[in-house]
Each structure stands twice: as structure tokens, then as C-alpha cells.
Chain A
Amino acid sequence: DARVTQTPRHKVTEMGQEVTMRCQPILGHNTVFWYRQTMMQGLELLAYFRNRAPLDDSGMPKDRFSAEMPDATLATLKIQPSEPRDSAVYFCASAPSGANVLTFGAGSRLTVL
């Protein structure tokens, strides 16, 4: 059963620390998304990639967030420095070429103290 794998599942860190979240998309899926879920804002699209190229990161705070795809099997979302307002669940999702059905990972729950 193909799935999107995210690590870590849970992360507690102190304000100012660097946080890196990783995602392994489903093999063969060429589009990868990062979403953030909070109680107040719901699900927000932060950024997405197609064939490893960033297509849209307008939803991402540029000063502290960065997203990359070093290769087709790994996407990363980095926050430096982290702030308490970054506390949320971060979801990675992937989709095959031309399709608009997203498969989500289980999420990375981030708590910044």
C-alpha cells in the first residue's frame, strides 16, 4: 500500500531553534505539497513542487521558512529560527502527473516553546 512518509511525527523544540521536517512522496508521484494545519487557520498551502522544481511558495513566510526537494524521493521543510506561532501540524502530500487527487502523509506535529 503506497503511502507518503513524514518524519518526525512529533517535535518539541525551543524558540530560536532550527527545525527540519522530511517527506518521502509516493514513488512515481511528481508533485509534492506542504500544508500547515492550525485550529485558527485550518489547512493552508505553504508550497508545492513539480518534478522537484518549486512552483508556488507564496503561502510560506519567506524570512524563516524554506522548502526544497534534494531528489525525487525527499522533500524538506525547514524553519529557522522557529517561533511559538509556528506550532502546528505540517502535512506533506503527493500526487501523480496531471492528477488532482492528493495523498497525504500522517503529518509532523511541531510544538515550539
Chain B
Amino acid sequence: AQSVTQLGSHVSVSEGALVLLRCNYSSSVPPYLFWYVQYPNQGLQLLLKYTSAATLVKGINGFEAEFKKSETSFHLTKPSAHMSDAAEYFCAINYSGGGADGLTFGKGTHLIIQP
């Protein structure tokens, strides 16, 4: 079985500060990992995905994530937070070769940006 754990249900940073959202995974097979963002009253939007190519993945809106097998982590970062980054962020997992068999999501991290 696969799972992801997001550390911290709420993260608060100042505008312009580094954003770090943590995700650790558990999988018995090579995983595919994803970060999605959800703005209020909207569906989930793909930020970036790791599918066993480069371990450092760049996504939209200046976000990036690094796959670290030794730490079973896939943390999401952004060098400088913007007010528009305030949203709910979800880490998700599937497995290589799993095709579109559905993603398993973490509980989500609510990112708060302080002016």
C-alpha cells in the first residue's frame, strides 16, 4: 500500500520568505509523486509531478520539489512567498506503471501568507 504524510496542517510564512511544505511517502514500489494546489472554492490544480526522471522537479508559479529516496521525502519549496500563494496544498502518490488508477492524497497543508 502507498501513502503520503504531510507534516503540518497549517504553515504560516511572511511575504517574501521561503516556503517549505513537507511530504513523506511510503511505497513498496518506485513511486510517482505529485503536488496539487487548491484555491478556495475551486478544484485541485497540478503544481508539479515526479515520475522517475530528474529528482529536482520544477512546477508552475515558481514552485519546485526534490525527490529524496534516502529520506522518502518530496518536499515542496518556493524561494519567495507571494500573497497569491495562499491556498491548500496536497501531496499525492501513485506508482510507476500504475497508469491512471487514482491518486492517494495527503491530508493537505494550508499555507498562510502574512503581509
Interface flags, B63-78, vs A, CB<8A=1, else 0: 0000000000000000
Measured between beta carbons, the chain B residues less than 8 angstroms from A17 are none
Measured between beta carbons, the chain A residues less than 8 angstroms from B106 are 42
With A4-B43, A91-B44, A100-B94 in contact, do A56 and B102 touch (Cβ < 8 Å)?
yes
Interface flags, A89-100, vs B, CB<8A=1, else 0: 001010111111
Q: For chain A residues 76-108, which have a beta carbon within 8 Å of chain B? A: 91, 93, 95-107
Verify B99–A99 contact, CB threshold 8 A: yes
Give the dominant DSSP class at A's interface.
strand
Pick the contact of B43: A55, A91, A98, A99 (CB < 8 A): A91
Measured between beta carbons, the chain B residues less than 8 angstroms from A103 are 46
A100 to B99, alpha carbons, bound, how many Å? 5
Verify A100–B42 contact, CB threshold 8 A: no
B7 CB, min distance to chain A CBs, angstroms: 14
Verify B100–A31 contact, CB threshold 8 A: yes
A-B contact pairs, 9 of them (CB 8 A): A93-B44, A99-B99, A100-B94, A100-B99, A100-B101, A101-B46, A102-B44, A104-B45, A106-B42
